[in-house]
Structures are given as structure tokens and as C-alpha cells.
Copies of this chain bind each other. A is one copy, B any other.
Amino acid sequence: MAKTHTDKAYEAELSQLREQLLEMGGLVEAAIAGSVRAVVERDASLAEQVKVRDRAVNRMEVAIDQACRRILALRQPAASDLRFITTSLKIVTDLERMGDLAVNISERAADLAQAPALRPLHDLVKLAELSQAQLKRALDAFVTGDAGEAEEVLRGDDHLDALYLKIFNELLGLMMEDPRSIRRATSLMFVAKHLERFGDHATNLAEMVIFMVRGTDVRHPKSRADE
């Protein structure tokens, strides 16, 4: 039989799920910060740490998935609780992939640490900070159910894309000036691309939060408006 909202055990399960997602988000934030620090400081052992710690992120994905399925099966949630659970099922996949992006960056960091430094990487650090802030804000919006804050995340993505493009063009210029830089600049391009994609995942989370809170799907406005 479906349980009511006043069921304390059920409330505790939902609140534990929320905490697990926040904890997983914290791990992923630390991972992206660590991976970019490994690139900038040319620290192969830090890069290795990020890869090892990703296992904890992966374990949390499996645990949260199971928790969601258990609640669906035993509690038969309705309305806003149902939206919360189905959103959690999707968000956890994004978080796991964001962890993978940090691992990808760490792999580039390990390669880059073996070659001479290319140049200071201030913008890359800034891009990482922006991406990380986007994730933090999206998760805050998720746990507090704040659609306005989720909309801030959507607006923030343009800033991130512009910075990515700036870095990309600078690296392209560097390659053209000095062909010896090609291999390293290509690696840094992929690092920047991974960060930009990390930001895209934060945008995806924010869109899901808006749907969860308002029941309105903002993911594909053009899909409906144009046709």
C-alpha cells in the first residue's frame, strides 16, 4: 500500500537520498578541482589520486540507483516525490559521467606532466572554477527545490562557453606559431573541452531541477515553439 507523507521512515529515506546525492556531488567537485590542479601543477601523482577516488563516485552511483528503485518499488511515491525520485535516477548518471570527465582530464595531466610546460594556464583554472561553481549551484537548486537558482545555472553556461572558445582559439594560435607545441596544445584543448562538457552536465542538472519543481520541461523550448 502507498505510504503517506507523514511516514517517518519514508521521509528519512528521501532525506538520506538527498544527502547521498549531495555527497556524491561533493566528491565530483573535488575530482574536477583536483584534475585541473594536476594539469596546472604538472602533478602526475595527484592525477592518479583523482582516478583512484573515482571508484567512490562509481560506488555511490550504484547505491543511489538502488535506493531510488527500492523507494519506487516499496513506497510507490506520487506527485512531487515521484518527480524527485525519477530526477534523482537521471541526475546520478550525470554525476557519474562528470566524475569520468575528471578522470579523462587526469589522464591528460599525466601525459602533460612528462613534457615541458607550455605556458601559464590561468584561463583553464578559471574555466574549472566556473564549471565547479555551476555544479555546486545546480545541486543546491536540486536539494532546496529552487527553480530560480537553477535558472541562474542556465544563464551561467554562456559565460563558460565563451571562455572555452577563448582558450580554444588561443591554443589554435599557439599551434600555428610553433608546431612543437601541437601535441601539448591538443591535450590542453581536450582538457578545456572536458571542462566545457562538465559545465553542460551542470546545465542538464539545472534543467531537470526546473522540471522537477515546476513540472515544466525547459530542456527543448525550440522543439515545441518551432514546430
- Please give the count of copies of this chain that the complex contains: 2
Chain B CB within 8 A of A182 CB: yes
Type the 1/0 row for A67-109, where 1 means its CB is closer than 8 Å to any CB of B: 0110011001011001100100110010000000000000000
* CA gap between A219 and B65 in the complex, in Å: 12
For chain A, residues 143 to 161, give those with C-beta under 8 angstroms from any C-beta of chain B.
Answer: none
Chain A interface mostly: helix
With both beta carbons as reference points, the residue of chain B lying nearest to A180 in the complex is identified as: B176
Q: Which residues of A contact B (CB under 8 A)?
A: 2, 55-56, 58-59, 61-62, 65, 68-69, 72-73, 76, 78-79, 82-83, 86, 89-90, 93, 172, 175-176, 179, 182-183, 186, 189-190, 193, 217, 219-220, 222-224, 226-227
Please give me the 9 A-B residue pairs with the lowest Cβ-Cβ distance, nearest first: A58-B220, A58-B223, A55-B223, A59-B223, A76-B76, A175-B182, A62-B217, A179-B179, A176-B182
